[in-house]
């Protein structure tokens, strides 16, 4: 019985982890490590265990456990803060359809720990929507409470910028969810910030395989 209950909740946790990955699909291709799927599933299984309802059918309520998702690192081997240490602020609008990350003027040489061979970098701001999941007794599956909002996502890319510019650089990255949608209390917006590195050869910027990372900076 315990095994069936655990398998049921594990399957639900895997489903919501997939929703998160799909909502951020365009921005995590170069960011995630080879254990991203299992780490996300474990995170949502932990959130599921917070519920006091019937085992095997406990809802995965992100909306009351948002802090557990905040600061999640998509690359477990390389934290975002160890690569990018420039100060930044974040905000969102009241309807929760837009997120903004503002980075005041900074010197990349001082605040970016770039991998060998990198000549340029690009900042990435992303929003991904993940609904709470509940167990459907009829289908015997975990399903999103807001299927039309679950998996929504959007991304904004900063300009590919030299790591050794002539003057300090600044960024304002505004991301708008498509629609825009009408958000509900059980839909959660993940605001993420990431960085990619490039090597410029001639007029071509080649994306490097190392040094790229991203984290969840806020869930709202």
* Direct distance between the N- and C-terminal alpha carbons of the chain, in angstroms, rounded to an integer: 36
Question: Once rounded to an integer, what is the mean pLDDT over residues 156-173?
Answer: 98
* pTM given for the model: 0.94
* Cα–Cα distances in angstroms (integers) from residue 68 to residues 86, 175, 204, in the given order: 24, 23, 40
> 201 phi and psi, to 5 degrees?
-125, 115
- Using the predicted structure, report yes or no on whether residue 2 has a pLDDT greater than 90: no
Question: Are 127 and 154 a contacting pair, CB within 8 Å?
Answer: yes
Beta strands 98-106 and 89-92 are antiparallel
Q: Is the pLDDT score of 29 beyond 90?
A: no
Q: Which two tokens stand for residue 147?
A: 């299927």
CA–CA gap between residue 34 and residue 103 (Å, rounded): 30
Average pLDDT over residues 96-119: 98
Which of 78, 89, 37, 36 has the alpha carbon at shortest distance from 195? 78
CB-CB neighbours of 190 under 10 Å:
24
Residue 46 φ/ψ region, left for φ over 0, alpha for ψ in the -120 to 50 degree band, beta for the rest: alpha
Q: How many residues does the chain have?
A: 220
Q: 2-11, 87-96, 124-133: which range is least confident on average? A: 2-11
pLDDT, mean of residues 89-103: 98
Predicted confidence band at 82 (pLDDT cuts at 50, 70, 90)? very high
Looking at the chain, list the stretches that DSSP marks H as alpha helix, in order from N- to C-terminal side.
Answer: 2-23, 25-28, 36-48, 80-83, 108-111
pLDDT over threshold 90, residue 185: yes
Q: What is the pLDDT of residue 1?
A: 84
d(CA 207, CA 1): 49
Mean pLDDT across 52-58: 92
Share the mean pLDDT of the chain.
97
The reported pLDDT for the residue numbered 65 is 98
């Amino acid at each position: 019985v315990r095994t069936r209950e655990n398998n049921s909740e594990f399957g639900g946790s895997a489903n919501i982890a997939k929703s998160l990955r799909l909502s951020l699909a365009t921005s995590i291709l170069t960011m995630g490590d080879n254990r991203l799927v299992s780490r996300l599933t474990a995170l949502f299984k932990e959130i599921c265990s917070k519920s006091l309802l019937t085992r095997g059918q406990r809802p995965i309520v992100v909306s009351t456990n948002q802090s557990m998702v905040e600061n999640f690192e998509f690359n477990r081997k390389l934290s975002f803060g160890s690569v990018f240490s420039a100060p930044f602020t974040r905000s969102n609008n009241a309807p929760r359809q837009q997120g903004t990350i503002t980075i005041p003027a900074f010197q990349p040489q001082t605040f970016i720990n770039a991998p060998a061979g990198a000549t340029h970098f690009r900042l990435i701001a992303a929003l991904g929507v993940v609904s709470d999941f509940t167990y459907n007794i009829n289908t015997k599956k975990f399903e999103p409470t807001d299927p039309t909002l679950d998996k929504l996502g959007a991304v904004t890319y900063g300009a590919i910028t030299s790591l050794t510019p002539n003057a300090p650089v600044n960024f304002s990255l505004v991301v708008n969810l498509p629609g825009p949608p009408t958000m509900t209390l059980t839909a959660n917006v993940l605001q993420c910030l990431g960085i990619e590195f490039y090597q410029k050869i001639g007029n071509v910027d080649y994306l490097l395989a190392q040094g790229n990372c991203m984290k969840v900076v806020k869930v709202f």
